[in-house]
Structure 1
Amino acid sequence: MKQIILVRHAQAETDYKSTDFERNLTDYGKQTATAIAKTIVKKNIKPELIISSPANRAKQTAEIFSKEQNFPFEKISSNNLLYSGFTTIDLLNIISKINSNYNCIMIVSHNPDLSTIANNLLISNFVNFKPSTTIGIEFNVESWNNVKVREGKLFLYEQL
């Protein structure tokens, strides 16, 4: 069984004094990310690998989740494909390279890409992601190479 946790970054600043890539989380965003991360810990869901968009707001969200999970921050991977224009094919290519010993991974990225990817992976359609929305999709496979579109089952849905 393989599980993918998809996390949309938490609420970010709307002030564009910096580039989109450099936008940081708001205080509210930090609070909601922390609350959802704590809920996931209570449900005993523990990703063995966290891969984040390199954008500040996504990295900050990943850091919050890693802190609550006692996941070493330095082990968070960054992948440029997760920043903008991230597709289902991109995700399948990324996860196909993951060691099969990992059973649960977390991807921290952006909308609208995450909504599209979730809808493509799930057997039935899903709703749009608000900031901090976290869903878990489960696949009845032994290898990440065998994850296919429209075969995932929703096992986690957290949104504030």
Structure 2
Amino acid sequence: MNRELWLLRHGKAEHNGDIADFDRCLTAKGERDVKRMGLWLKQEGLCPDILISSPAKRALGTAGIIADTLGLKKPSLQQDGRLYFQGIVGLKKVLADIPVSPGRVLLVGHNPDLEDLLAYLVGMGHLPGSAGPMMPTAALVRLHMPADWSHLPANCAQLLAMTHASSLS
């Protein structure tokens, strides 16, 4: 069975020292970039079977825009606290709990966790070099994964595509 894992970093969020990190919302630019990513996914005929988001406001806002743009039913959008700065261990636990049936799983979360998971699953030698972050805000990575996600070893995935919202017209 072919399975794909999609990692989407939330859109650009406000930076206001008076707001707790968890409660930071998307900026207007962040909303535009995420909408652009959602429209691109729709245009490419790419739709996840399951969408799981960090419960942080900026991640939920990102997931909601993607779900709305793709016309996903609300029950397909799930929240999981282990996607909010729990490191690779937390992310791997989320993945281990996903049933085998969904072919395309989209996680919406945060750096550095998403980049760390990407490097772990693919291996640094298989990632494109860049002066900036591998996954800037509203960036999407698609990975070809093994069928069983209960115990994911390092270097078990293949990078299919890396798309930055800033590169989409």
TM-score for both structures, normalised by structure 2: 0.86
Q: Tell me, in whole angstroms, the C-alpha distance in 2 between the residues paired with 1:40 and 1:101.
A: 21
Whether the 8 Å contact between 1:10 and 1:58 is mirrored in structure 2 is yes
Question: 1:104-139 CA deviation, whole Å, 9 max, x = no partner?
Answer: 000000011111111111142355211101110112
> Which residue does 1:39 correspond to in 2?
40
Q: Specify the SS of the correspondent of 1:137.
A: strand
Q: Tell me, in whole angstroms, the C-alpha distance in 1 between the residues paired with 2:75 and 2:18.
A: 29
Q: Which residue identity is paired with 1:90?
A: G
- Of 134, 144, 149, 1:138 maps to 144
Q: Tell me, in whole angstroms, the C-alpha distance in 1 between the residues paired with 2:30 and 2:39.
A: 14
Shift of 1:42: 1.6
Q: Which residue identity is paired with 1:144?
A: W
Q: Tell me, in whole angstroms, the C-alpha distance in 2 between the residues paired with 1:12 and 1:149.
A: 31
Structure 1, unpaired ranges of 5+: none
RMSD, aligned α-carbons: 1.6
Whether the 8 Å contact between 1:3 and 1:138 is mirrored in structure 2 is yes
Q: Specify the SS of the correspondent of 2:61.
A: helix
**Which region of structure 1 is more displaced relative to structure 2, 7-16 or 115-124?**
115-124
Q: Tell me, in whole angstroms, the C-alpha distance in 2 between the residues paired with 1:106 and 1:148.
A: 20
Q: Which residue identity is paired with 1:114?
A: L
Structure 2, unpaired ranges of 5+: none
Which stretches of structure 1, 4 residues or more, deviate above 6 A after TM superposition? none
Question: Matched residues, percent identical?
Answer: 22
